[in-house]
Structure 1
Amino acid sequence: MSRVRRFLSTLYHVFFNFVLYSFRNINQKIMSKFPVWRMREETTEHVQSCIKIFKWLILPASVLYMLLMFFLFNVNVLGSVLWGLAVFFYSNFLPDLSSIYRGKTSDGGAVLPWYKRYAILLFAPLLVWILFSGIRLNWRTTETFHNFKSLIVYGVFLFAVGFFAFAKFPIQTGNIIEILVFPLYGLAGYLTHLKVDKTW
């Protein structure tokens, strides 16, 4: 049991350090004045909440979901579940990735049209890669994505991704359920982030 605890503790610290290191590098790249101590504090809050929700909700629900899908519909959803788990962890930190393009104009208004604002949310990893490639897009927005409108947009996007990734024709009941469940992982992660930030 002690070995298991040490292993889980190691995984926790690896995950925590990865998140902290990633956001610290991003903030250094954009020359943010966000203090390191505050970054560490926020990372601790979000990582602990993420792990708690995963342990008590996402993991048992995923196991039950896989068993029900296999025995009721003879469908193996392990692949989509693994992708869903990855999306859950990613979505826990997604709203803060938009900070790389957060800013205000002299009159305090946003300067980006709506489709560019939501491109920052939906394609955040690509934009982070562009940033570290030395390309600085002249995009600025006051949008923080810490709201339910952004959550809905993200959910629709994940549904589209799930449909193109997991749809098998002719579509049957089990496949429909698989497509519908996939976005729930991302929504759960996003909601966890909003809860930690006291958005709801």
Structure 2
Amino acid sequence: MSRIKRFLATLHHAFFNFVLNSFKSINRKIRSKLPAWRMREETKEHVQSSIKIFKWIILPASLLYFFLEFYFFSENALDTMLWGLAVFFYSNFLPDLPSIYRRKTKKNYRKDLPWYKRYAILLFAPLLVWILFSDIHLNWRTTETYHNFKSLTIYCFFLFIVGFFAFVRFPIQIGNLIEVLVFPFYGLAGYLTHLKVDKVW
């Protein structure tokens, strides 16, 4: 039992360091003035919250979903479950990723980005982080914070489209339709967890 606890503690520590070092690298690249202690505290809050929700809600619900899909519909939902778990953890930190293209006020700017560019920053955040580290200049700046339910709704709709094209099989059966519909809920849970930690709701 002690070995299992040590293993889980090691995973927790590795996950925390991965998230912290990722955001440290991003902040160094954009020359952020966020203090190191504040970054560490915020990362700790989000990591602890995501693991707590995963352990007590997401993992049990995912296992139940997997077995019910197999029992009632003879569907192997392992792929959607594993991808969903990855999306859950990713969504826990997604609202902070677009900060690399954020400006604080509208002063000295005539207007904000068009809506499709604003939400492209959210939906394709990993690609834009890659662009940042590739030293490709992208002159996009927005006052949008993405810490709101409008951004959450758009993100979940995007995940539904991704899930449809990734997991649908024709002719569509009930079990397969459930797989497609369940996938965005992982993103919803992760995003809501982030907003809860940041006291948006």
TM range (shorter): over 0.9
Report how far residue 177 of structure 1 moved. Answer: 0.3
Counterpart of 1:196, as a letter, is V
**Gaps in structure 2 of 5+ consecutive residues:** none
5 Å matches for 1:96-175?
A: 96-103=96-103, 104-107=105-108, 110-175=111-176
Tell me what 2:39 maps to: 39
Pairwise CA RMSD: 1.0
* Structure 1: runs of 5 or more not aligned: none
Work out the CA distance in 2 between the residues paired with 1:19 and 1:95: 14
Which residue number in structure 2 is paired with residue 71 of structure 1? 71
Match of 2:189 in 1: 188
**Displaced runs of 4 or more, over 3 A:** 107-110
Residue by residue over 1:98-149, the C-alpha shift from the partner in whole angstroms, topping out at 9 and shown as x without a partner, is 1000014424675200000000000000000000001121010000000000
CA distance in 2, matches of 1:33, 1:109: 25
- The Cα of 1:62 is off from its aligned counterpart by 0.3
Cα distance between partner residues in 1 of 2:176 and 2:110: 44
| Aligned amino acid, residue 53 of structure 1 | I
Which amino acid is the alignment partner of residue 199 of structure 1?
V
| Amino acid in the other structure paired with 1:97 | L
Alignment-derived partner of residue 19 in structure 1: 19
**Kept after mapping to 2: 8 A contact 1:95/1:121:** yes
How many equivalent residue pairs? 200
TM-score for the superposition, normalised by structure 1: 0.98
Distance 2:112 2:131 in 1: 20
- Give the share of equivalent positions with the same residue, in percent: 74
